[in-house]
Chains A and B, each alone.
Chain A
């Protein structure tokens, strides 16, 4: 399998403090990979470093073999990586429609708007609502939906299940499986072991800014105990 994204010796700072201390992992094309770990382990910072959203970062980040560690965020996006942030980043002053249409198309092959709305029927009914009026679940759906149109092939998803009801979490899980079947490459940050189980092809456990363990998808059930231990459950 070709490597879509490879991260080597990544170090990153959040403001003054160094949060990522030599992160190494890779994501194959069409693969779903999860970064698991506690709060403050450096998972979100890793995603932000990949997107170019942090000023201080060193090491290597390659997208399809091309070095992108020095690239500005809009360049990273234009090279084909889409980002769904932890806080969802729904623009409160924009309508749902405006939010959906905000990210510009960067390549052919994105999912057409109609199709996106078919995937997320609740959003279809709320197209003209203000972004601030959405529930947590709807916000997450919208955050996911709006990056599917752009033609980006690599999706970075930061804790898509955070704070959501189980039924919505299941819905998002089905959605991610569907995206995987469409050939998207997905890097997922999670604290919710139950959610990634069966979804991810591989898991990296992250602690204090490094990868401390790698668990293959089929081993995950068996090692759930130790994963929960890592997550402090």
Chain B
């Protein structure tokens, strides 16, 4: 048997083929994302869910109605595409003219809802979908065995990709699309119904994802979660390629698939993280992406912050004292375990809010700091035998370091790209956590000792533990409060308001952003480390992307850019999880629903809306309430 660099050629070619097949899906999905993004400036976070829905629908059609593969290949994309059209018409359309992040959050919520509902009905385990009889078997090419179905997937995806490219680049319809991407207002002024065109484009992009799902059904297992992980890889592909060109998306998709295949053949341990490493390198060398020509323009207007930005030191003192008093009294009426969990998440959300609310850099990967700090702290306490305070310090420092490195790379992009980059980095950390020798894989790092604080306070005493967590939470909260009010915090807010102006005043904005990101990471790490000590376990859940989604939810629900908002949001979400635990996957659906409602109707969050209401009530207070900012029209 021939070998190439020590790898049997059959294995190598097999992996390359698998890589190409994966690449075909990356290409089809990133293509749809690129088309949708070009028209609507929305990163369609529901893309993975829509891909999954295509596959699920094919499976359902077969198992319940006996409708086979070929019909499903038509029916599923059409139905999912129609659902997409409804989503655009009734939901996404309300967000045009707002910051692109809102579209991302809304589609994220929709994805959670679809995924949760389907898991609830059909379970989250994978279901097999048979290869259609016409495409069963394979042929021997001499140097490798080529299964017919894989050949078909490659051929079909190439046809779909090139067909899309042809329509967009070479037809009159495509000319409308390209023109509307550049200047939708002018295209409208020529008599073209751009809103309808946008609706149909979104439908088409979604149908493309669903078609990829049907094609994927016989290759991978059909399950409600099949789209989520894939989508994160596709985001990395998008960052690598840049969303500038259709051909660029196709080429990058296949290229990344090939790289993955090669890695699987030569260095399998790295195969799940290699995409993210490539992304990091591209960010360093060519931040706009391989095929991207320009860096992202700043997003649309944000909702104006509702809170009067700086409250007087006296108000702050009252706030902290009230908070401390209620936390001390709370265990008398509320289960202390719940209180501690809620406080930890409140700290996590407040840390996230530091960068998302005051720095306007919305990270979709903050779970990496919570998770990695938890593991390191747990390992330090359990294996190295450090006292809890030192273990927590070690965990926090790890998160800070991780924040420094990932932040240094991620701040090269802004807005939605920043969100995608952080999400991709977090996924890389997740895979590391899954595979690293000391993390306990799926089981997590169990039996973390609580130990003796400073060597003499026993944390296994529940009262001590409660006081310990309360002190950490309050300490973190006060720290963040001071940070926001400090000169640094002021500059950070100024930068988030108007980057170019801040630069022209002499501020090196990247340095400020990087430091803010690191501080936020460190505080998230503090929460993660404390969590490991309190719960005595560090698990994969804390590093999973859904945790990054949860912290977003807490912060947006409570009120992004307000001090108390993330705290309240965290308490609400944790309470919900506790009391709704019996509902299983429906919790995800409820999360998704809250996301959608927040984004559509409630963008200031609980605290923000309350503050706005309060100020409306007494108009002579802190000046007029900033009206929700809207762009002129269209985009």
Contacts and interface: CB of A to CB of B under 8 A. Distances in A.
Interface in B182-239: 182-183, 185-194
B182 A83 contact: no
Contacts of A59: none
Given A101-B172, A101-B175, A73 B189 contact: yes
A75 B280 CA distance: 47
Contacts of A72: 188
A40 interface: no
Contact of B194 (A15, A74, A89, A106): A74
A15 B194 CA distance: 21
A93 interface: yes
Contact of B179 (A54, A55, A102): A102
B176 interface: yes
Contacts, number: 72
B178 A94 contact: yes
A92 interface: yes
A104 B186 contact: no
Contacts of B175: 94, 98, 101-102
B237 to A, nearest CB: 22
> Majority SS of interface residues in chain B?
helix
A35 interface: no
Contacts of B179: 91, 93-94, 98, 102
Contact of A104 (B178, B181, B192): B192
Nearest to A13: B632
Interface residues of B, number: 22
A198 B192 CA distance: 35
A191 interface: no
Contacts of A106: 191
B622 to A, nearest CB: 20
B633 interface: yes
> Majority SS of interface residues in chain A?
loop
Interface in A168-202: none
A86 B631 CA distance: 20
Interface residues on A, range: 20 to 34
Given A53-B185, A89-B186, A150 B191 contact: yes
B107 to A, nearest CB: 25
A208 to B, nearest CB: 20
B188 A91 contact: no
Contacts of A98: 172, 175, 179
A51 interface: yes
A51 B633 CA distance: 13
Contacts of B178: 91, 93-94
A77 B189 contact: yes
Contacts of B181: 93
25 contacts: A53-B185, A53-B189, A53-B633, A55-B630, A55-B632, A73-B189, A74-B188, A74-B191, A74-B194, A76-B189, A77-B188, A77-B191, A77-B192, A82-B190, A85-B186, A91-B182, A93-B181, A94-B175, A94-B178, A102-B179, A102-B187, A103-B190, A104-B192, A106-B191, A150-B191
Interface of A: 14-15, 51-55, 72-74, 76-78, 82-83, 85, 89, 91-94, 98, 101-104, 106, 147, 150
Across chains A and B, which 6 residue pairs bring their CB atoms closest together, nearest first? A77-B191, A103-B190, A73-B188, A55-B633, A98-B175, A89-B186
Given A14-B632, A102-B190, A103-B190, 9 more contacts: A73-B185, A74-B193, A78-B191, A91-B179, A93-B182, A98-B175, A101-B172, A104-B191, A104-B192
